[in-house]
Amino acid sequence: MKIKMNLKTKMLVYILTASLIIYALALGYVSLKLNKIALDNAKELTNTYAKEYANYVKADLSVDMNMTRALAQVSNIYKDLPPDQMEEILIDMIEYLIEENPNFLSTWYNWELSGIWPEWKKPHGRMRMTYYRSDGEIKFKKEIIDTVPGFTKGAYYDILEKQVEYVMDPYYFTYNTGEDEILMTSVALAVIENVISIGVSGLDLELQRFQDLIQEIHPIEGSYAFLIAHNGQYVAHENEEMLGQFLQEFECESSNILEKIQNGKEFSSSNKGIDGNEYWISYAPVYIGNSPTPWSFGFAVPVNIIMAEEKATLKKSIFVGVIGLLLIAIIIYVLSLKISKPVTHTTNILKHLAEGDIDQSLKLQVKSEDEIGEMGNSVNTLIEGLNKTAEFAREIGKGNLEKEFDLLSDKDVLGNSLLEMRKSLKIAKEQEAERKLEDQKQNWATQGLAKFGEILRQNTDDMQEFSYHIISNLVKYIDANQGGIFIINDDDKTDRFVELLAFYAYERRKYMEKRIDIGVGLIGRCVQEQKTIYMTELPDEYITITSGLGQSVPNALLIVPLKV
């Protein structure tokens, strides 16, 4: 069903619809851009926080690794001392380290027996010297282990063989009697002499200090942090129940995340948080010395917090857009009234014109110089033109074919049609006049032939009288002033000349010179050449017409040779 709408309604509907579509597209684009910018900013911010705290953890653990390096370098510094003195120095050093660093649970030094006892020939066996905290005291323990086959090889032998700095995976252990095990880790380093590993030095570290750090990290509302070891085990977490748990137990994409952690990658992902909400989480690697087992520091920010500002901006944009649409609607309504009112008036006038009413009173009062004003001027021009055209048509109808008419333009079809009609009427009138003239000539010729035929039948006895009747009637019939008939007199073959038989002028018989030599004058030349002579310009002295009014030179002279 076709809906009929006036111009004002169409302007409101079309322009508002177009504005709404443009606004929706713009709002959608802005929303997407804001969403992307918010996510990018959140990603950058979480990455920054993750890297910042990862560097803090790295710096903290690097201090511990540096102490381990110093402990490992002692044997190289004092390698020329006897084993007993070397052992005493090492014991003093590990004691000093644990006394000066309350966060150390133990300091230890493992020495291969083959490196201190020349008589020891077995490929295994080691001396382990350990200072550790137990029941509020620092205690020392020295033991010889792994001397018989069948012992379990652990991280010690990996470090010894690979000759690397190493951070062990977190584990639960306690040196205190009757107390629960605590989560700790160990940093260790192979002691190398002449490219040969002769032992391993290391520290046991309690990880509670990192849990204390994590609890203080809340730079963004709703955010939380965590620290994950190389094996995916949570070292520190906002939720203490997560401590010691493994990433694989909670993350559906844990294998992918764990792989990136173990490869020391910096990355971000969107995952469910500990409260079930969506979080944007950034992971930053924590490299501890030259250990091949990097940890990872994670920082999580709620997506709804990230997007809060974007959503607020979007709401403001929608509100401003609605206000803008209302203002546009009001402006369009006012403009549509200004446009539709003269258009409606013009439409009514055009309806009158369509009905043939071209009264001058229909002209518009044009006040503007814009397109509406041009439209009004065009309507007025049309009314004026139609009135002129109608007046021209009336004059043509009256038979006034000379009436002047100016075309509205080169494209004035109606005006051109009327001019063509006038032209056709003029041609028809001229053709009618020509036909009447032809008819008159035809009647004149027919009547003349009949008349002179009758004269020829009645006057054949006397040649002169016959000639007179012929010339007198001919002069009268053609409405000439005078005329004459000449014949060739050849009675004397030696003296041939032209002789005047009869002459008539002004309704009376005239007498003039009767003899004209052949070839002399116009008469003589006509006879000689046997060609008609017709002249409209005669010399003043050639011949004159004498009447009661005086003398004058004739306007035309016609001499026709008569042939038998």
Same domain, 158 and 61: yes
Task: Judge whether 288 lies within some domain.
Answer: yes
Task: Judge whether 320 lies within some domain.
Answer: no
Among the three residues 396, 424, 450, which one is the final residue of a domain in this structure?
396
Q: How far apart are CA 418 and CA 30, in angstroms?
A: 64
Same domain, 444 and 370: no
pLDDT band at 264 (very low <50, low <70, confident <90, very high): very high
User: Measuring CA to CA, which residue among 206, 160, 201, 159 is closest to residue 180?
Assistant: 206
Per the structure, the count of domains in the chain is 4
Same domain, 65 and 129: yes
Task: Judge whether 66 lies within some domain.
Answer: yes
pLDDT in tens, 19-42: 788 878 887 787 777 777 777 877
Same domain, 106 and 250: yes
Neighbour order of strands in the sheet with 224-228:
234-237, 224-228, 295-302, 278-286, 267-272
Among the three residues 249, 272, 306, which one is the final residue of a domain in this structure?
306
pLDDT band at 100 (very low <50, low <70, confident <90, very high): very high
Alpha-carbon dihedral angle through residues 534, 540, 544, 547, given to the nearest 10 degrees? 120
Instruction: Give the helix ranges, DSSP H, for 355-489.
Output: 371-397, 413-458, 463-477
Same domain, 503 and 518: yes
pLDDT band at 545 (very low <50, low <70, confident <90, very high): low
**Burial grade of 296 (CB within 10 A; 0-12, 13-18, 19 or more):** buried
- Integer CA distances (angstroms), 173 to 67, 107, 319, 553, in order: 22, 15, 61, 161
CATH number at residue 208: 3.30.450.20
Q: How far apart are CA 487 and CA 373, in angstroms?
A: 87
Same domain, 133 and 235: yes
Strand intervals (E) in 170-252: 171-173, 182-193, 196-206, 224-228, 234-237
What is the distance of C-alpha 172 from the center of its chain? 66
Task: Judge whether 327 lies within some domain.
Answer: no
Same domain, 550 and 494: yes
Same domain, 453 and 477: no
Same domain, 424 and 300: no
Confidence at residue 248, expressed as pLDDT on a 0 to 100 scale? 80
Task: Judge whether 547 lies within some domain.
Answer: yes
pLDDT in tens, 324-362: 878 887 887 777 777 777 777 777 777 777 777 777 666
pLDDT in tens, 212-246: 999 999 888 888 999 999 999 999 998 888 888 99
Q: Is the pLDDT of residue 403 over 90?
A: no
pLDDT band at 140 (very low <50, low <70, confident <90, very high): very high
Confidence at residue 122, expressed as pLDDT on a 0 to 100 scale? 86
Residue in the structure block whose two tokens are 């050639």: 542
Residue in the structure block whose two tokens are 């730079």: 219
The answer to whether the CB of 283 falls within 8 A of the CB of 262 is no
Same domain, 383 and 474: no
User: Measuring CA to CA, which residue among 519, 538, 563 is closest to residue 481?
Assistant: 538
Three-state SS letters, 379-399: HHHHHHHHHHHHHHHHHHHCC
Residue 285: which H helix or E strand, with range? strand 278-286
Q: Is the pLDDT of residue 518 over 70?
A: yes
Confidence at residue 299, expressed as pLDDT on a 0 to 100 scale? 92
The answer to whether the CB of 296 falls within 8 A of the CB of 261 is yes
Output the six-digit token pair for 299.
Answer: 């920082």
The answer to whether the CB of 139 falls within 8 A of the CB of 132 is yes
**pTM for the full predicted model:** 0.57
Same domain, 250 and 357: no
**What is the mean pLDDT of the segment spanning 363-367?**
70
Q: How far apart are CA 323 and CA 36, in angstroms?
A: 26
CATH number at residue 529: 3.30.450.40
- Integer CA distances (angstroms), 411 to 376, 414, 415, in order: 20, 9, 9
Confidence at residue 130, expressed as pLDDT on a 0 to 100 scale? 94
530: left (phi over 0), alpha (psi -120 to 50) or beta: left
Task: Judge whether 74 lies within some domain.
Answer: yes
144 φ, ψ to 5°? -105, 120
CB atoms within 10 A of CB 306: 24
Task: Judge whether 311 lies within some domain.
Answer: no
Q: How far apart are CA 298 and CA 258, in angstroms?
A: 12
Task: Judge whether 447 lies within some domain.
Answer: yes
Same domain, 385 and 431: no
* Domain span at 447: 407-458
Three-state SS letters, 139-193: EEEEEEECCCCCCCCCHHHHHHHHCCEEECCCEEECCCCCCCCEEEEEEEEEEEE
Q: What angle do CA 17, 18, 23 make, to 5 degrees?
A: 95
